[in-house]
């Protein structure tokens, strides 16, 4: 079938919305009519050449939509179901999947290298994170389409597919924040604000948000942070305020903020790195520091099992406990994708969501 997608032809270029060809869903696949797709920082990173994307490509990996057609051998989904797309394939067969660490599935790919159902002018298009959801329709494995019920708007549901799961899960699953604990969140974009909400819902007594941008600190306080700090001297301030937090969650992606997170946790505390560093970055930590039994761990996709965790987040939204309105700054139609990307680059908005 013909559909329309936003194509990026080369590093740093503008996206161009054009007609593309989409194959019918094969065995175990579904076609999803995309209703909404957030513009995530990783998409900006991919445009800048910081991800393993093969151009021409279709970006977009934070999406919700309606199941429109089923291939053979698909169970548990029906036409018309609202789904949130997951970017972990959850193959169920590799060693991490079999031991329950679905977020570490060995089938996870940032790039499909032009293989797959999407072609443009006779060439295969790469689909970022194996989704390529800046497109009116996608064909994906059914396991990557998680049904979430009709009671959440697509503009909100899509956020669960990347930023919310990543941040909320980093706090509640990777850092395992427990009631009464103190938590610092470094970087208050969509992921950091979701980590703050995870810490709040887990019962953290003190949540310190750290961000250089005033708008983001204000959003953090609105979503459950008890304190908000500008970035300079944050480590010293956090230690003065708490004696070192039980857990710190880094959502920026720079080695300095990762070090800060490590340095602001108490002896025995947990530092969790969520932000995406470049391959060249290193982290200079004196090993003697490890005698304090601090832990430093990474977190991908909030250690999520999307099939189980997406519906839980939707339930928290339905109960009014998870605020998604505050994360959704603005919507724009697909044709205004370049304007949306420019707004996300300015760094003031939490999320611009494309609608279809």
Active-site amino acid positions:
40, 42, 45, 61, 162
Contact 354, 332 (CB under 8 A): yes
Q: Considering the complex, what minimum distance in angstroms separates the CB of residue 116 from Zn ion?
A: 18
DSSP 135: B
Q: Which of 44, 77, 94, 110 binds Zn ion (CB under 5 A)?
A: 94
97 near Zn ion, judged by CB under 5 A: yes
> Which range of residues in 9-17, 33-41, 78-86, 119-127 is near Zn ion by CB under 5 A?
33-41
31 close to 66: Cβ distance less than 8 angstroms:
no
Check residue 349 for interaction with Zn ion (CB under 5 A): no
- Assess contact for 61 and 128: CB atoms under 8 A: yes
Q: Which is nearer to Zn ion, 200 or 351 (CB)?
A: 351
> Least distance (Å) from Zn ion to the CB of residue 331?
17
- Is the distance from CB of 163 to CB of 351 less than 8 angstroms? yes
Contact between 39 and Zn ion by CB under 5 A: the answer reads no
Q: If we measure between CA atoms, which residue out of 201, 149, 191, 141 comes closest to residue 170?
A: 191
For helices 214-222 and 190-202, the axis angle rounded to 10 degrees is 30
Tell me 14's DSSP state. P
Cβ at position 101, least distance to Zn ion in Å: 9
247 binds Zn ion (CB under 5 A): no
48-56, 90-98, 183-191, 279-287 -> range binding Zn ion (CB under 5 A) = 90-98
Give the position of tokens 């329309």.
Answer: 4
Rounded CA gap, 150 and 140, in Å?
A: 20
With binding defined as CB under 5 A, does residue 40 bind Zn ion? yes
How big is the site for Zn ion, counted in residues (CB under 5 A)?
8
| Contact between 198 and 172 (Cβ < 8 Å) | yes
CA 261 to chain centre: 20
Binding residues among 135-154 for Zn ion as defined by CB under 5 A: none
Query: Does residue 91 interact with Zn ion by CB under 5 A?
Result: yes
Picking from 161, 140, 149, 5, the residue whose alpha carbon sits closest to that of residue 80 is 149
Which range binds Zn ion by CB under 5 A, 52-60, 94-102, 215-223, 312-320? 94-102
Output Rg (C-alpha) for the chain, integer angstroms: 20
Give 22 or 40: the residue with its C-beta nearer to Zn ion: 40
Nearest to Zn ion of 162, 322 (CB atom): 162
Scanning 2-10, 89-97, 188-196, 209-217 for contacts with Zn ion by CB under 5 A, the matching segment is: 89-97
Residues near Zn ion (CB under 5 A) are 40, 42, 91, 94, 97, 105, 107, 162
């Amino acid at each position: 079938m013909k559909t329309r997608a936003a194509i990026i032809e080369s590093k740093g270029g503008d996206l161009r919305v054009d007609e593309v060809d989409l194959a019918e869903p094969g065995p175990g696949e579904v076609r999803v009519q995309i209703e909404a797709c957030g513009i995530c920082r990783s998409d900006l990173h991919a445009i800048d050449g910081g991800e393993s994307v093969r151009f021409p490509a279709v970006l977009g990996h934070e999406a919700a939509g309606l199941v429109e057609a089923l291939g053979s051998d698909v169970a548990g989904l029906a036409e018309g179901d609202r789904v949130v797309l997951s970017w972990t394939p959850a193959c169920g067969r590799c060693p991490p999947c079999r031991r329950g660490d679905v977020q570490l599935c060995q089938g996870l790919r940032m790039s499909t290298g032009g293989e797959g159902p999407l072609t443009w002018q006779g060439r295969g298009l790469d689909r970022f994170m194996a989704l390529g959801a800046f497109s009116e329709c996608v064909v994906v494995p059914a396991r990557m389409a998680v049904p979430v019920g009709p009671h959440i708007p697509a503009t909100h549901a899509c956020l669960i597919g990347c930023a919310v799961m990543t941040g909320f899960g980093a706090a509640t699953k990777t850092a395992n924040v427990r009631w009464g604990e103190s938590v610092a969140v470094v970087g208050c974009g969509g992921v950091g604000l979701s980590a703050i909400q995870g810490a709040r819902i887990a019962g953290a007594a003190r949540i310190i948000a750290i961000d250089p941008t005033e708008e983001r600190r204000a959003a953090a306080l609105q979503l459950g942070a008890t304190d908000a700090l500008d970035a300079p001297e944050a480590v010293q301030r956090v230690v003065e305020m708490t004696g070192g937090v039980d857990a710190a969650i880094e959502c920026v992606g720079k080695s300095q903020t990762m070090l800060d997170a490590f340095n602001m946790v108490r002896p025995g505390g947990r530092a969790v790195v969520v932000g995406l560093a470049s391959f060249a970055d290193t982290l200079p930590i004196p090993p003697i520091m490890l005698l304090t039994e601090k832990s430093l761990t990474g977190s991908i996709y909030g250690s999520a099992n999307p099939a189980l965790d997406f519906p839980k987040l939707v339930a928290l939204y339905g109960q009014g406990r998870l605020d998604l309105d505050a994360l959704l700054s603005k919507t724009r139609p697909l044709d205004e994708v370049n304007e949306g990307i420019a707004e996300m680059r300015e760094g003031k908005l939490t999320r611009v969501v494309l609608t279809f």
